[in-house]
Amino acid sequence: MTDSSASNSRQKRDFGLKRRYAAERRFRLFGQAAIGVGLFFLAALLFTVFSKGYTAFGQTSLNLDITFDAQLIDKNNARATDPDVLLTPNYAVLARDALAMKLGLGKLSSKDRKLVDGIISNGTKVQLRDMVMANPAIIGTTQNIWILAEADIDSANKGQIDLSVDEKRRKVSDRQLEWMAQLKADGTLAQRFNFGLFRNGASSRPEMAGLGAAMIGSLYMMLIVLVLALPIGVAASIYLEEFAPKNRFTDIIEVNINNLAAVPSIVFGLLGLALFINFAGLPRSASLVGGLVLTLMTLPTIIIATRAALKAVPPSIRSAALGIGASRMQMVFHHVLPLAAPGVLTGTIIGLAQALGETAPLLLIGMVAFITDAPVTPLDPATALPVQIFMWANEAERAFVERTSGAIIVLLMFLAVMNITAILLRKHFERRW
Amino acid sequence: MSILNIFFLVAAIGVSGYFLGRARAKNVSGGDLSKLHSLPGYAGAYVFLWATIPSVLFLAAWLMAAPFMLENTVRTGFPQTEQDTSENNQNLSMGMVRSLAGGLREFSVDERLGLPKIFEEIGPKLNERGIVLGSNGQDFMIDAAYTLIALQDKSRFWLTVIAITTSFIGAVWALSRIAIRLRARNQVETIILAGLIAASSIAVLSTIGIFLSMVAESGRFFASVPPMEFLFGTVWDPRFAAADNPGATGQFGLIPLLAGTIYIALVAMIVAVPIGLFAAIYMAEYASSRTRAIVKPLLEVLAGIPTIVYGFFALVTVGPLLRDISAQIAGIATGDGASFIQAQSVLTAGLVMGVMLIPFVSSLSDDVITQVPASMREGSLGLGATRSETMVRVLLPAALPGIVGALLLTGSRAIGETMIVVLAAGVAARLTLNPFEPMTTVTVKIVNQLTGDLEFTSPQTLVAFALGMTLFFITLGLNVYALYIVRKYREQYE
Amino acid sequence: MQMNTKFKPLENVPLNADPSPRAISICAEKVNVFYGEKQALFDIDLNVGANEVTSLIGPSGCGKSTFLRCMNRMNDTIDTCRVSGKITLDGEDIYSRDIDVVELRARVGMVFQKPNPFPKSIFENVAYGPRIHGLAHTKTDLERIVVTSLQKAGLFEEVKDRLQQPGTSLSGGQQQRLCIARAIAVQPEVILMDEPCSALDPIATAIVEELIDELRQNYTIVIVTHSMQQAARVSQQTAFFHLGNLVETGPTEKIFTTPDDPRTESYITGRIG
């Protein structure tokens, strides 16, 4: 096969070994380089995400003594008869005053007022209003509470703003930086764990935006996929592997399933739009529709894995069961399926992990929605974790890059947990026949 | 009775049927179960199935057919003036009647008596209960709505009666059949088998569903835009019809999108194929089993990362990096610091997509290479060939069909990929050969046309289905051919 | 015993019966078997007597295993397999339409070439059959059946302290006896054995052979074997198959000493095979 160069001198035959070994080393090097490049990209990707995103788990907050001034909140003392009066006051002033006092500023000039306001998150007024609405008794008292700092202040506090840039061109002024230093020194301004990231819904303000609603949406969809795709997939595999006669029809199903596994995910989105929304009239943006679309996508994965697991159960077990008079159904459900269960489970988890990371089809069925409150039923408008990432990735503000990366970390963590579970399951239940 | 309640009641009849059936089977056996053809549990299941399946099937059929039949009846009661109008108009009126009826259900029967019979007056009353109606209603619709409500109530009453009677009769009949020789197991198993067959046909049904929905919606699109204009048009400019210019439908040329799709896929393959193939070769031939055990799963992590993450990576890291590097190079070469690679470009999208595809190429090729019989490899090594010579001259040629199949599968994935290109390739549909400029793809345009507020009648949204159909057929063709090759290849070495 | 047209196999087994009902005979008439286009058996006529061990011998691929699997319709599991002709079990055609194969296999047990215990405990292995056939009404019943079956298979003494251990943990010979116990537990009338000793060492083989001889008291046994010595040792009747034909059948002693057919003689003396 190899063309050993034919200089066939009797004493010393030259096989061109030097040249050939050089080629061998080169070849090997290419292989190593290829793997190196692949691993480098993996590392670069993970590094990017983690380095940009880990800070999203902390959020700069301010610890203020806020006086709920009755004069400002309910001037006419009408709340007993008409609780709605508590909705209207400008609660932001309370936080501003508290902060100004902390900073030792007297009466604020209009320029200073703007700068002070710029430190406090826009969401504070809602936070204070909700406190008052929940418990009107706090009016007139002073409460020590934590409020969120504005996203730019948060970025500056995390060192993400280039301070060498001219003051006019950056979002945080020198004055605000001075105040921040002062507040930090007395413990008013601090980084706290960002529970809001896991609790809040969508928001146009980065410091208040969270994954809460998206995670609920994803959870609903995963449940729907699990409840539908697992039994249907297992039932289909059992039929194909254990009962189906080998004929044209089963051949078609077989080819079909393999192809379905390779159909681009976005096409499933179009199917969902046409079938579930236009034809069946299910609501747009609902996690039910998302779950159905993902079920159809996950089905081939589960079927392929389950069939492989069923195939791995040795035929002798089947003969043994049939030989003592078990029916085929009993053979499958008493013996074959329990033995294949770990494989089925592994395949299901991997299919679910795929479904969890899937974005494109969900865009088409309207899950790109601005969802501020978590969906209560699967028919409510919802969004999903990867779609939330997509929406944040399209936001222009600097602070959203951090949020996006943070969300990706959360998503990757979920996927890692699922995949590791699958691997452990496989390891633990691996059976040699 | 609500559907859910009927359902629960039928289920309850079924479950009690199960226990009764089991008890009866035990009873007829006279204590010796081995006399029975089937174990008591099967007799129970037999009764359960007879109690539930006919009833549920009936329920489903009724629920699907009833709305049409009821509305037809209501429609024939429309005044002649209404009946003379167009089909479309009547459909709209029926819709109004439907929502009126829905609104009236918010009121108790007594309250309904006090409601006005004039459309303009009933509107505000409904509004008070949070029901908003359109404004173009007519008075006859109120009567029609009451008729509809009456019919619906009647339908629901009979549905309840029949469903529950069916269930009951089924249970009693099945119970009466229980005997020593009743082949309950066989019958129950036949039903289970039918269920299994139904489950496996869902895979086929979803392919048919994809196909039909694509064809139907694309058909509506091609009714307003000629197929030739779509398939061979070189301009993509789907303007939405503006209020002052309702005639503007825009141009729907597929060519620029297809060109972008293929170009980006090509760049991705140029990245992924050599890296993936060499990685697979190294893994199959050189790597120690320990290296393999570590490196292989690590590379597979790349396949497990959601594509949205790659898209983000391209958007915030790779794109800006390429742009900055090109600015540096331009600075050195010409002294002019303008970057010649744009952040969103064919190169960015292709490069990142290539990274995503590496594990596909490597694991598919790895499978193929290790399937080549060991005897071939040993034969070559035995002749004194080096490992690289064996690989290049024996194994790869032998594995070639399989590898080609693997590459086709990878290519089909590249063409159908969405999130990376949505974030990294750009939205401008244009024809260019410069990989440093943005181009757009079929998938990007499907997403663009279908996000936001939609009206399902305009060609601007329907075009997405035509694009989807194009995508479906291209990838289907690639997959079928690739799977065919791979299958043939496997058979050769089996 | 009175049999009406309906199939009532275990009717007369008394409660808590010793799992050894009476043995019965099998009769095959003009049995042809096809795998797709290929014919594997040609017009087989064979009578298997009650309380006898009948051995089927012949070179590989002669159809002896195929014939064995016809007798409890295990061939049904092969899609392309077609059987014509008539096999009667105690006068009843087992291929007739109103026969339930599951019931049939409960009456005609089978032991396979390779020991194939379920990957469950020893107890569960034996208990599975009685459970699905409703042979035990109480836990004690079930335990009694398991114990008697294991005793009859000569395994009980060896495993009585570890009934909860997996059946797969036993040695090859023990596994095969477990499979025999599993078959006995269903109270079959006939036991088919497909080369039951081919995967066993000589000592285990001897034990199993002894067991087969004992089981003859209560069951009709058909055994496929490669080993002529084994056939000679355990069986009363022998049938010699060659290329899908039943060449000769008769008392074992006669087949091994004065066969009628020259092909039988060649095989016995080692010239074919």
- Considering only CA atoms, which of B364, B400, B389 is closest in space to residue B285? B389
Which of A67-71, B190-194, C226-230 has the least mean pLDDT? A67-71
Q: Look at B344 and B273; give whichever has higher pLDDT.
A: B273
Task: Name the interface residues of C facing A (CB cutoff 8 Å).
Answer: 72, 74, 77, 79, 102-107, 109-112, 114, 116-119, 128-129, 132-133, 179, 182-183, 185-186
pLDDT of residue B106: 79
The rounded distance, in Å, linking the Cα atoms of C172 and C197 is 10
| CA angle, A258 then B478 then B355, to 5° | 90
Residue from the list C74, C79, C185 with its beta carbon closest to the beta carbon of A323: C74
Please state the rounded mean pLDDT for residues B29-34. 79
Q: What is the DSSP letter of B241?
A: P
The rounded distance, in Å, linking the Cα atoms of C72 and C87 is 10
Q: In the structure, what pLDDT confidence band is assigned to residue B174 with cuts at 50, 70 and 90?
A: very high
Amino acid at B6: I
Please state the rounded mean pLDDT for residues A44-50. 93
pLDDT of residue C3: 37
CA distance A336 to chain C (A): 10
Residues B174 and B301 in one domain: no
Give the phi and the psi of residue A149 in degrees, each rounded to 5: -85, 155
CATH number at residue B451: 1.10.3720.10
pLDDT of residue B121: 76
Please state the rounded mean pLDDT for residues B330-337. 79
pLDDT of residue B147: 87
The answer to whether the Cβ–Cβ distance between A246 and C112 falls below 8 Å is no
The rounded distance, in Å, linking the Cα atoms of B320 and B343 is 5
Residue pair A70/A140 in contact (Cβ under 8 Å)? The answer is yes
User: Which residue of B264, B273, B295, B309 to mutate against A (max A Cβ within 10 Å)?
Assistant: B309
| Count of positions (residues) in chain B | 494
CA distance B313 to chain A (A): 6
Residues B249 and B156 in one domain: no
Which residues, at least 6 apart from A357, have a Cβ–Cβ distance to it below 8 Å? A386, A411, A415, B305, B306, B307, B308, B309
- How much of chain B exceeds pLDDT 70, in percent? 95
Task: Collect all residues of chain A within an 8 Å Cβ-Cβ radius of residue C179.
Answer: 320
Nearest residue of chain A to residue B409 (CA atoms): A262
Q: Which is the CATH superfamily of the domain at A212-429?
A: MetI-like (1.10.3720.10)
pLDDT of residue B102: 81
B123, pLDDT greater than 80: no
Which residues, at least 6 apart from A55, have a Cβ–Cβ distance to it below 8 Å? A158, A160, A402, A406
Task: Collect all residues of chain B within an 8 Å Cβ-Cβ radius of residue C103.
Answer: 37
Q: Is residue C10 less than 8 Å (CB to CB) from chain B?
A: yes
The answer to whether the Cβ–Cβ distance between B186 and C132 falls below 8 Å is no
Q: Is residue B298 less than 8 Å (CB to CB) from chain A?
A: yes
Asked, for residue B21, whether it belongs to a domain, the answer is yes
Task: Collect all residues of chain C within an 8 Å Cβ-Cβ radius of residue B183.
Answer: 100
Which residues, at least 6 apart from B382, have a Cβ–Cβ distance to it below 8 Å? none
Nearest residue of chain B to residue C6 (CA atoms): B181
Please name the helix (run of DSSP H) or strand (run of DSSP E) that holds residue A40, with its range, or none.
helix A17-53
Beta pairing, strands C220-224 & B251-252: unpaired
Residue from the list C8, C15, C100 with its beta carbon closest to the beta carbon of B183: C100
The rounded distance, in Å, linking the Cα atoms of A208 and A199 is 10
Asked, for residue B95, whether it belongs to a domain, the answer is yes
The answer to whether the Cβ–Cβ distance between A319 and C112 falls below 8 Å is yes
Task: Collect all residues of chain B within an 8 Å Cβ-Cβ radius of residue A44.
Answer: 317
Tokens of A356: 């969890």
pLDDT of residue B122: 76
Question: For chain B, what is the mean pLDDT?
Answer: 86
Please name the helix (run of DSSP H) or strand (run of DSSP E) that holds residue B41, with its range, or none.
helix B40-76
Q: Is residue A327 less than 8 Å (CB to CB) from chain C?
A: yes
Q: Is residue A319 less than 8 Å (CB to CB) from chain C?
A: yes
Long-range contacts of the stretch A4-8 (C-beta < 8 A, 24+):
A4/B384
- Over the range A3-26, which residues count as b (16 or more CB within 10 Å of their CB) and which as e? ebeeeeeeeeeeeeeeebeeebee
pLDDT of residue B28: 87
Residues B335 and B447 in one domain: yes
- Encode pLDDT of B363-377 as tens digits: 889 888 888 888 888
Q: Look at B120 and B473; give whichever has higher pLDDT.
A: B473
pLDDT of residue C125: 93
Asked, for residue B190, whether it belongs to a domain, the answer is no
B66, pLDDT greater than 80: yes
Residues B253 and B390 in one domain: yes
Tell which phi-psi region holds residue C43, choosing left (phi > 0), alpha (psi between -120 and 50) or beta.
left
Place of tokens 């309207």: A366
Q: In the structure, what pLDDT confidence band is assigned to residue B355 with cuts at 50, 70 and 90?
A: very high
Total domains, chain B: 2
pLDDT of residue B13: 94
Q: In the structure, what pLDDT confidence band is assigned to residue C10 with cuts at 50, 70 and 90?
A: very low
CA distance A366 to chain B (A): 7
Task: Collect all residues of chain C within an 8 Å Cβ-Cβ radius of residue B181.
Answer: 6, 8
Beta pairing, strands C220-224 & C53-57: parallel
Residue pair B418/A360 in contact (Cβ under 8 Å)? The answer is yes
The rounded distance, in Å, linking the Cα atoms of C268 and C95 is 33
The rounded distance, in Å, linking the Cα atoms of B225 and B120 is 42
Q: Is residue C97 less than 8 Å (CB to CB) from chain B?
A: no
Q: In the structure, what pLDDT confidence band is assigned to residue B48 with cuts at 50, 70 and 90?
A: very high
Long-range contacts of the stretch C231-234 (C-beta < 8 A, 24+):
C231/C55, C231/C57, C231/C256, C232/C256, C233/C209, C234/C53, C234/C55, C234/C209
Please state the rounded mean pLDDT for residues C108-116. 90
Nearest residue of chain C to residue B30 (CA atoms): C15
The answer to whether the Cβ–Cβ distance between B32 and C137 falls below 8 Å is yes
Q: Is residue A404 less than 8 Å (CB to CB) from chain B?
A: yes
CA distance C107 to chain B (A): 12
Residues B333 and B403 in one domain: yes
C6, pLDDT greater than 50: no
Give the phi and the psi of residue C10 in degrees, each rounded to 5: -110, 20
Per DSSP, the three-state class of A374 is coil
pLDDT of residue A230: 95
Which of A32-46, B43-57, C14-28, C134-148 has the least mean pLDDT? C14-28
Residues B253 and B170 in one domain: no
Please state the rounded mean pLDDT for residues B447-464. 79
Task: Give Cα B441 to chain centroid, integer Å.
Answer: 20
- Over the range B460-488, which residues count as b (16 or more CB within 10 Å of their CB) and which as e? bbbbbbbbbbbbbebbbebbbebbebbee
A7, pLDDT greater than 50: no
Asked, for residue B113, whether it belongs to a domain, the answer is no
A433, pLDDT greater than 60: no
pLDDT of residue C162: 92
Per DSSP, the three-state class of B129 is coil
- Considering only CA atoms, which of A183, A176, A155, A181 is closest in space to residue A98? A183
Q: What is the DSSP letter of B138?
A: -
Residue from the list A316, A335, A339 with its beta carbon closest to the beta carbon of C112: A316
Give chains near A: 3+ CB pairs under 8 A.
B, C
Domain that holds residue B429: 237-493
- Encode pLDDT of B341-351 as tens digits: 888 899 999 99
Residue from the list A30, A267, A299 with its beta carbon closest to the beta carbon of B203: A299
Residues B316 and B410 in one domain: yes
Asked, for residue B77, whether it belongs to a domain, the answer is yes
Residue pair C83/C95 in contact (Cβ under 8 Å)? The answer is yes
Residue pair A146/A192 in contact (Cβ under 8 Å)? The answer is yes
pTM: 0.85
Please name the helix (run of DSSP H) or strand (run of DSSP E) that holds residue B102, with its range, or none.
helix B87-104
Amino acid at C196: P
pLDDT of residue C9: 38
Q: In the structure, what pLDDT confidence band is assigned to residue C1 with cuts at 50, 70 and 90?
A: very low
The rounded distance, in Å, linking the Cα atoms of B298 and B363 is 12
User: Which residue of C105, C124, C191 to mutate against A (max A Cβ within 10 Å)?
Assistant: C105
Task: Give Cα C141 to chain centroid, integer Å.
Answer: 25
Question: For chain A, what is the mean pLDDT?
Answer: 87
Question: DSSP letter string over B70-100?
Answer: HHHHHHHTS-HHHHTS-HHHHHHHHHHHHHH
Q: What is the CA radius of gyration of chain A?
A: 31
Q: In the structure, what pLDDT confidence band is assigned to residue A9 with cuts at 50, 70 and 90?
A: very low
pLDDT of residue B35: 79
Residue from the list C6, C15, C102 with its beta carbon closest to the beta carbon of B32: C15
- Considering only CA atoms, which of B194, B415, B206 is closest in space to residue A295? B206
Asked, for residue B112, whether it belongs to a domain, the answer is no
Size of interface A-B (CB pairs under 8 A): 273
Nearest residue of chain B to residue A251 (CA atoms): B204
Residue from the list B185, B196, B283 with its beta carbon closest to the beta carbon of A235: B196
Q: Look at B402 and A356; give whichever has higher pLDDT.
A: A356
How many CB atoms are closer than 10 A to CB B453? 6
A411, pLDDT greater than 90: yes
Neighbour-count burial of B261, counting CB atoms closer than 10 A to its CB (0-12 exposed, 13-18 middle, 19+ buried): buried
Give chains near B: 3+ CB pairs under 8 A.
A, C
- Considering only CA atoms, which of A305, A304, A277 is closest in space to residue A367? A277
The answer to whether the Cβ–Cβ distance between A34 and B209 falls below 8 Å is no
B276, pLDDT greater than 90: yes
Please state the rounded mean pLDDT for residues A150-162. 85
CB interface of A with B, residues 296-355, below 8 Å: 296, 299-300, 303, 327-329, 353
Q: Is residue C86 less than 8 Å (CB to CB) from chain B?
A: no
Task: Collect all residues of chain B within an 8 Å Cβ-Cβ radius of residue A48.
Answer: 313, 316-317
Residues B379 and B489 in one domain: yes
- Considering only CA atoms, which of A299, A298, A307 is closest in space to residue A237? A307
Measuring CA to CA, how many Å separate B444 from each of B219, B223, B411, B447? 21, 24, 17, 5
Please state the rounded mean pLDDT for residues A66-77. 82
Please state the rounded mean pLDDT for residues B150-160. 90
Please state the rounded mean pLDDT for residues C240-261. 91
Residue from the list B217, B313, B358 with its beta carbon closest to the beta carbon of A274: B217
CA distance A273 to chain B (A): 9
Q: In the structure, what pLDDT confidence band is assigned to residue B455 with cuts at 50, 70 and 90?
A: low
Per DSSP, the three-state class of B345 is coil
C77 beta partners: none
Residues B304 and B434 in one domain: yes
Residue pair C226/C193 in contact (Cβ under 8 Å)? The answer is no
Residue from the list B192, B206, B277 with its beta carbon closest to the beta carbon of A296: B206
Task: Collect all residues of chain A within an 8 Å Cβ-Cβ radius of residue B210.
Answer: 263, 267-268, 270-271
Residue from the list B34, B181, B183 with its beta carbon closest to the beta carbon of C134: B34
The rounded distance, in Å, linking the Cα atoms of B107 and B145 is 13
Please name the helix (run of DSSP H) or strand (run of DSSP E) that holds residue A63, with its range, or none.
strand A58-67
- How much of chain C exceeds pLDDT 90, in percent? 40
Residue from the list A322, A330, A334 with its beta carbon closest to the beta carbon of C74: A322
Which residues, at least 6 apart from B293, have a Cβ–Cβ distance to it below 8 Å? none
Measuring CA to CA, how many Å separate A138 from each of A85, A135, A144, B172? 15, 6, 12, 67
